Amino acid sequence: MKAKRLAVLKTYKLFIGGAFPRSESGRVRPALAADGKTLLGNYAQASRKDFRDAVVKARAAQSKWAASSAYLRGQILYRAAELLESRRAELESELRRAIGKIDEVSQAIDLLVHYAGWTDKYGPLFSAVNPVASPHFNFTFPEPTGVVCAVCPDTPPLLALAALIAPAILSGNSVIVLASERHPLPAVTFAEILATSDMPGGVVNILTGLRGELAPQFADHLDVNAVIDGSGDAGTAKTLQAGSASNLKRHADHSLAEADWKSAAENPYWILDTVEMKTAWHPMGA
């Protein structure tokens, strides 16, 4: 009698600096299907050291990314949407097994295209020429804040990931994102898409693991400039707010009800949560 073949399940890695390392701790966790029993694969459980490594890579990539043109950043975001479209079937299958729904793939693609169009528009829209009582021109304009950390909700795992990444990176920030704790696999597949796009390594870093372990690190690290909380979890919110207050990070709450992530996440004001308004003076006639 022919023996039944056992499937070789994938072990999903972290995404740090454009590479896919295992956690330095060697820890992995099982990813379960919507029934709570079927094993879909395993994924790396990021440690504090993995997070610190991601901060180093994000900081190294940020200045060059910020110096690139708005047009180029928009083209790269649009390219990510194109590649996401090309792997739609794979992600829909992954989401169907994990949460029983597939509609968020289309929504994530549309969201990336939406924010790709904002890269050269948010600056003119949110800039200002200010009236001053002296013979000067006075201009205010937005600039990226630096390294941004974001925490995803459990659902929707893919759409929320795209909605937290896109408005942060389009201005020139680099990001470190903690994926859905319950359904992390679509996030790592999305990382594989970014790795084969034109996105420079280190601009987007995706960690998988436990919020309770990594959220305090996000809040306390002194080389992180802003934290975005999309978790919808009260304990995580308290941790991020307390850390941000102690070391003066920017903090924004982007938590939404699951049904609202498509419509409410198309919000240009989310871009402002990770930029700083700079003012320049120039003498008249000079």
C-alpha distances in angstroms, 128 versus 141, 276, 279? 7, 13, 9
Give pLDDT, residue 36: 85
Q: Please write the tens of the pLDDT for every residue from 189-213.
A: 999 999 999 999 999 999 999 999 9
Number of domains in the chain: 1
Q: Is 3 within the bounds of a domain?
A: no
Higher pLDDT, 196 or 2: 196
Residue 103 — very low, low, confident or very high, per pLDDT cuts 50/70/90? confident
Q: Is 127 within the bounds of a domain?
A: yes
Q: Is 6 within the bounds of a domain?
A: no
Q: Please write the tens of the pLDDT for every residue from 7-52.
A: 788 899 999 999 999 999 999 999 999 888 899 999 999 999 999 9
Q: Is 217 within the bounds of a domain?
A: yes
Give pLDDT, residue 211: 96
Q: Is 205 within the bounds of a domain?
A: yes
Q: Please write the tens of the pLDDT for every residue from 224-272.
A: 999 999 999 999 999 999 998 888 899 999 999 999 998 899 999 999 9
What are the backbone angles phi and psi of residue 205, rounded to the nearest 5°? -125, 130
Task: Determine if the pTM surpasses 0.75.
Answer: yes
Q: Tokens 């372990």 map to which residue? A: 213
DSSP assigned state of 187: H
Cα–Cα dist 262/155, whole Å: 12
**89 burial via Cβ count (<10 Å: 0-12, 13-18, 19+):** exposed
Q: Long-range contacts: 193-197, Cβ < 8 Å, 24+?
A: 193/80, 193/83, 193/84, 193/87, 194/15, 194/80, 195/15, 195/18, 195/20, 196/83, 197/76, 197/79, 197/80, 197/83
- For 175, the domain range is 11-275
156 in Cβ contact with 258 (< 8 Å): yes
CATH number at residue 26: 3.40.605.10
DSSP assigned state of 179: -
Residue 284 — very low, low, confident or very high, per pLDDT cuts 50/70/90? confident
**80 burial via Cβ count (<10 Å: 0-12, 13-18, 19+):** buried
Give pLDDT, residue 186: 95
Extract the tokens encoding 258: 């699951």
Q: Is 150 within the bounds of a domain?
A: yes
Helix (H), strand (E) at residue 138:
strand 136-144
Q: Which residues 6+ apart lie within 8 Å of 44 measured at CB?
A: 11, 12, 13, 14, 21, 22, 23, 27, 28, 29, 50, 208, 209
Q: Is 152 within the bounds of a domain?
A: yes
77 in Cβ contact with 116 (< 8 Å): yes
Give pLDDT, residue 112: 97
Cα–Cα dist 268/43, whole Å: 33
Range 107-117 average pLDDT: 96
